Amino acid sequence: MMWSERTIWWCIVFICVKQGVSQNVSSLSKVSENCESGKRQDCADCRTVKICSYDQTVLTSYKCQDVEPDKPYCVGSGICSSDYDSESACGVADDLCPSTKAGFYPDPSNCTQYIYCDEKKIATPVSCLAANNAYNHSSSSCFLRKVLDDCFQVNCELLQNRNKWFIYKPFPQLYFFCSMSGLPVMFECPREFEVYDVKLQRCKFECRESGRFPYPGDNKKYYECVYVTPFKLELFEQRCPLQLTYDEEKRICNVK
């Protein structure tokens, strides 16, 4: 049993590492130096428009997202659009996007920015408006940092962090792997109240408040979290009395 689980996880790790090499959020916004001759406007990268003079100098550039938030991509001869060119770097799935659903996600290596992942796992970086702010994944917005712990970030480029799993502490349903090449790869546990167990290499239920919670895959059972001391919650696996099944809405065993 243990063996088959290990095998599956190692395969996933291998894919992460492979993808990590070719995908790099920060490299998406690299601005190319010169302009093509005769062009006054062009795409610097798939999100940035550049304005040029006829002597091929870039006069200025701007992010489409800053000008037209619903048209974040630069296409063709420097036009902002809601869709990216299929062959552009914007079309590459980003490892910061977990495979679960579209939405905002933290950048685990920088608390002052976050990303939007669309359905195709294409990431659009977003920065907190002020440098002393940090991203809050519960509200998908930034807040003023008051204590050091308000900023959670792990530098995946440091050698001691590479090839290692981390829980995203402010929102432990999220966890990430720092690849061998120093890039974070984000994952999300499938259910609320689940936390990744680094040793077991799988997500498991964790008590965060008292009460009853559904047991995945078996409606005759449920989890119950109970305070055993004023500060310590403990997890119990309970079974409904015969003939009853766990009712998620009423949070109790009920007649079905």
Ligand X SMILES: *[C@@H]1O[C@H](CO)[C@@H](O)[C@H](O)[C@H]1NC(C)=O
Q: Which residues bind ligand X (CB under 6 A)?
A: 24, 26-27, 30, 110, 112-113, 127, 136, 138-139, 143, 181
Q: Which is nearer to ligand X, 112 or 124 (CB)?
A: 112
Radius of gyration for the chain, computed over Cα atoms and rounded to the nearest angstrom: 23
CB 148 within 8 A of CB 116: no
Q: Which is nearer to ligand X, 30 or 164 (CB)?
A: 30
Q: Tell the smallest beta-carbon distance from residue 15 to ligand X (Å).
A: 16
Q: Tell the smallest beta-carbon distance from residue 127 to ligand X (Å).
A: 4
Q: Which is nearer to ligand X, 26 or 82 (CB)?
A: 26
Q: Which is nearer to ligand X, 118 or 150 (CB)?
A: 150
Q: Which is nearer to ligand X, 112 or 173 (CB)?
A: 112
Q: How far apart are CA 84 and CA 60, in angstroms?
A: 21
Q: Which is nearer to ligand X, 144 or 200 (CB)?
A: 144
Q: Tell the smallest beta-carbon distance from residue 209 to ligand X (Å).
A: 13
Q: Tell the smallest beta-carbon distance from residue 182 to ligand X (Å).
A: 7
Q: How far apart are CA 29 and CA 131, in angstroms?
A: 19
Q: Tell the smallest beta-carbon distance from residue 140 to ligand X (Å).
A: 9
Q: Tell the smallest beta-carbon distance from residue 139 to ligand X (Å).
A: 3
